[in-house]
A and B are shown apart, each in its own frame.
Chain A
Amino acid sequence: MKKILVAIDGSEPSLKAARMAVDIAKPDAAAVTLAYCIPPIVYPSEMAWVPPVEFEQQQRQAAEAVLIQAREKLVPNGVNVDRIVLRGPVAETIADEAVANRYDMVVVGSRGHGAVKRLLVGSVATRLVHICETPILVVR
């Protein structure tokens, strides 16, 4: 095990996923990458006065902030933790990233900010389990 990719959206299950990824990475001195994926959302009309480029920059800054916060909540214990911001349909983009950059494992929280509370597994985790070619760990 050399590289572990964690899908982060700042939700508690995603932070739990990150903690577990660090635990798994430690004995092998594997590297952990926290990934935030910005979904392709409709440009909200109340943002219409913001130029698209600036809007994208704001999204990116918000994503970076979530990743930095997540990183601060981790006790890395010597594990190398870095971060990336991705763009696109969340599950597909994470799955592609895992294959493209040869990650050994993907770790994801069972549901993120978006999921309806009574669901045990959110749509992103469900979709990832279906499409991800890399071994995928769903953390409750």
Chain B
Amino acid sequence: MPAVLLGFDGSAPSRRALTQAVHLAQVMGARLEVVHALAPILLAPSTYSQAVADIERKERDEGARLLAEAVAEATAAGVTARGTCQLGTPAELLLDLAASDEVKALVVGSRGRGAVARVLLGSVADQIVKASPKPVLVVR
């Protein structure tokens, strides 16, 4: 089954991207694959503490909650959807998944939570537009 891939971090542009992605999946007769990237915390093993483990768990939980929200919105619109939460940088994660033959299009918000507010286009959207082998929909 063809798939539309959505990068979702819960930011306002990514929420608007979700609406567009659901619609795109509808018209393309595709399922929706929602991806949430967890930033790896780079620390020397010796400094890895309970506090870091707690932060990681919190981020995983938050990611799972966001994905459930997105999947619920897609399902309500009659689109088959699935959420994936993975460790990695968002652009690399999305581009890796985009290599699959099933993926027919990618949808991203113009900037996520990471971008400085005055930036019109975040680094993730920029990298994806430049490197994606598939059509990319950028939503402001």
Q: Are B120 and A138 in contact (CB under 8 A)?
A: no
Q: Which 3 A-B pairs have the closest CB atoms?
A: A27-B27, A137-B137, A139-B135
Q: Is A56 an interface residue (CB 8 A)?
A: no
B16 (CB) vs chain A CBs: closest residue: A135
A132 (CB) vs chain B CBs: closest residue: B140
Q: What would 19 more interface pairs be, CB under 8 Å, given A105-B137, A135-B139?
A: A20-B135, A23-B27, A24-B24, A120-B131, A121-B129, A121-B130, A125-B129, A126-B129, A126-B130, A130-B121, A131-B120, A132-B140, A133-B140, A135-B20, A136-B137, A137-B135, A137-B136, A138-B135, A140-B133
Q: Is B80 an interface residue (CB 8 A)?
A: no
Q: Is A66 an interface residue (CB 8 A)?
A: no
Contacting residues of chain A (3-25) with chain B, CB-CB under 8 angstroms: 20, 23-24
Q: Is A129 an interface residue (CB 8 A)?
A: yes
B126 (CB) vs chain A CBs: closest residue: A129
Taking the closest CB of chain B, its distance from the CB of A9, in whole angstroms, is 17
Instruction: Determine the main DSSP class of A at the interface with B.
Output: mixed
Q: Mark B112-130, 1 if CB is under 8 A from A, else 0.
A: 0000000011000110011
A-B contact pairs, 6 of them (CB 8 A): A24-B28, A26-B27, A28-B27, A132-B138, A132-B140, A140-B132
**How long is the Cα–Cα vector from A132 to B125 in the complex, in angstroms?**
13
Q: Are A136 and B138 in contact (CB under 8 A)?
A: yes
Knowing A27-B26, A129-B121, A129-B125 touch, does A138 contact B131 (C-beta < 8 A)? no
Interface residues in chain B, defined as those with a beta carbon under 8 Å from any beta carbon in chain A = 16, 20, 23-24, 26-28, 105, 110, 120-121, 125-126, 129-140
A133 (CB) vs chain B CBs: closest residue: B140
> Which of A26, A126, A129 is the most central at the interface, judged by chain B CB atoms within 10 Å of its CB?
A129
B132 contacts which chain A residues (CB < 8 A)? 138, 140
Interface residues in chain A, defined as those with a beta carbon under 8 Å from any beta carbon in chain B = 1, 20, 23-24, 26-28, 105, 120-121, 125-126, 129-140
B120 contacts which chain A residues (CB < 8 A)? 130-131
A135 contacts which chain B residues (CB < 8 A)? 16, 20, 137-140
B26 contacts which chain A residues (CB < 8 A)? 27
**How long is the Cα–Cα vector from A20 to B30 in the complex, in angstroms?**
14
A130 contacts which chain B residues (CB < 8 A)? 120-121
B140 contacts which chain A residues (CB < 8 A)? 132-135
Q: Are B138 and A129 in contact (CB under 8 A)?
A: yes
Taking the closest CB of chain A, its distance from the CB of B78, in whole angstroms, is 12
**How long is the Cα–Cα vector from A134 to B20 in the complex, in angstroms?**
11
**How long is the Cα–Cα vector from A30 to B78 in the complex, in angstroms?**
20
